């Protein structure tokens, strides 16, 4: 049996320890401080979902320094199939998990910890033109790339 505990042995058993969900904290100081930011994250997730569902009006999506069509398969893979804003006890548990596990909830990575799709920047053609202008260097060099899968035309 002890040979199964040796990580160098090919028959090594990796013991998985599952954590019990934390009991509701009842609104501790961490949850209280994180709540406004968490609500903004949820508002952003709701807005992204609504924008994603209207590719006629919001036809461009930026991810990092890449420009995509909103209907691109890369964007589709990053967008969750179903987004439901948590309410009641589900909200309290989601807030608690977010606030207790990550105390730097004001960092730029905080939204991505809630859901990676919050790094998508879904925009209208007019806003895409502004994004392109902001990501074009002073000599006209592009600081962005067009997706090779969906090959969007510049607006």
Give the model confidence (pLDDT) of 16-65 as tens digits: 555 555 566 777 888 888 888 888 888 888 888 889 889 999 999 998 88
pTM of the model as a whole: 0.69
Cα–Cα–Cα angle for 104, 107, 109, rounded to 5 degrees:
105
5-29 confidence digits (pLDDT tens): 555 566 655 555 555 555 667 778 8
Q: Residue 61: beta bridge partners?
A: 68, 122
User: What does the block give as tokens for 37?
Assistant: 């930011």
């Amino acid at each position: 049996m002890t040979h199964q505990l040796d990580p160098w042995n090919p028959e090594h058993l990796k013991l998985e320890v599952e954590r019990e969900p934390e009991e509701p904290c009842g609104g501790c100081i961490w949850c209280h401080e994180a709540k406004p930011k968490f609500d903004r994250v949820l508002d952003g997730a709701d807005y992204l979902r609504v924008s994603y569902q209207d590719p006629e009006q919001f036809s461009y999506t930026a991810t990092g320094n890449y420009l995509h069509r909103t209907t691109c398969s890369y964007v589709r893979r990053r967008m969750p199939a179903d987004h439901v804003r948590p309410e009641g006890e589900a909200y309290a548990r989601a807030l608690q998990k977010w606030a207790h596990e990550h105390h730097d909830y004001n960092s730029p990575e905080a939204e991505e910890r809630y859901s990676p799709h919050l790094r998508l920047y879904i925009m209208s053609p007019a806003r895409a033109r502004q994004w392109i202008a902001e990501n074009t260097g002073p000599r006209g060099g592009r600081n962005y790339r067009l997706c090779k899968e969906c090959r969007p035309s510049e607006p």
